[in-house]
Chains A and B, each alone.
Chain A
Amino acid sequence: EAGVAQSPRYKIIEKRQSVAFWCNPISGHATLYWYQQILGQGPKLLIQFQNNGVVDDSQLPKDRFSAERLKGVDSTLKIQPAKLEDSAVYLCASSLDLLAAGNTGELFFGEGSRLTVL
């Protein structure tokens, strides 16, 4: 079974530039998450989708970050304009529908996209 796919793996940009990250979840997983992980810290949830609807985006800096999940499958996270403090690994994860029978709550993570803002 294919895992969560993310691209690009690495990105270096200047501050005030824009960047976009792409995620393809595990087939059949209704819930998709974007986490930001700054070096030495735990993952911080940015946005959570259930199919193509947003469940939680309370910690997404909406003045510069945006995310969409068209058709309830792939998702894109965009940052514009980037700041130095956005340097982090952006992790995409997916899981079964939170209320589905047999759902254990386990998240399956992609390899992450490492962003460096200079």
Chain B
Amino acid sequence: QKEVEQNSGPLSVPEGAIASLNCTYSDRVSQSFFWYRQYSGKSPELIMSIYSNGDKEDGRFTAQLNKASQYVSLLIRDSQPSDSATYLCAVNSLNRDDKIIFGKGTRLHILP
């Protein structure tokens, strides 16, 4: 059974601090990794994707991937109240017969 696991939280972080969100996955052949943000009552929206080991930075967001450890993380620098949301980790293998699996999400609360 392919699984994507996340701590459900809530994770509370002071405004301006770094928020660190973690995700582990069980399928070793996974090739693509995504972080989606979902505000309450809204649909998920993609904020970061990463395909190779290492770090990928986009503005205040950094995704980190370690395929050997089957671990992907998302760092949010200078956290803002608008970052308060649920963050969903998603994994797929870009194979026509595979599917994109979502974790249960981590609720992040930025404290003003």
Contact = CB atoms under 8 A, between A and B. Distances in A.
**Same complex:** yes
Interface in B36-68: 42-46, 49
A45 B101 contact: yes
A112 B39 CA distance: 13
A55 B100 contact: no
Contact of B92 (A40, A105, A109): A105
A109 B88 contact: no
Contacts of B42: 111
Contact of A109 (B6, B32, B43): B43
Nearest to B31: A105
Nearest to B4: A42
B104 A42 contact: yes
A41 B34 CA distance: 17
Interface in B10-54: 32, 34, 42-46, 49
Given A42-B102, A55-B96, A91 B49 contact: no
A50 interface: yes
Contact of A41 (B44, B92, B97, B104): B104
A106 B4 CA distance: 17
A44 B8 CA distance: 16
Interface of A: 33, 35, 40-45, 48, 50, 55-56, 91, 98-99, 103-107, 109-112
30 contacts: A33-B100, A40-B8, A41-B104, A42-B102, A42-B103, A42-B104, A43-B44, A43-B88, A45-B99, A48-B99, A55-B96, A55-B99, A91-B44, A98-B95, A98-B96, A99-B94, A99-B96, A103-B94, A104-B32, A104-B49, A105-B34, A105-B92, A106-B34, A106-B46, A107-B44, A107-B46, A109-B43, A110-B43, A111-B42, A112-B43
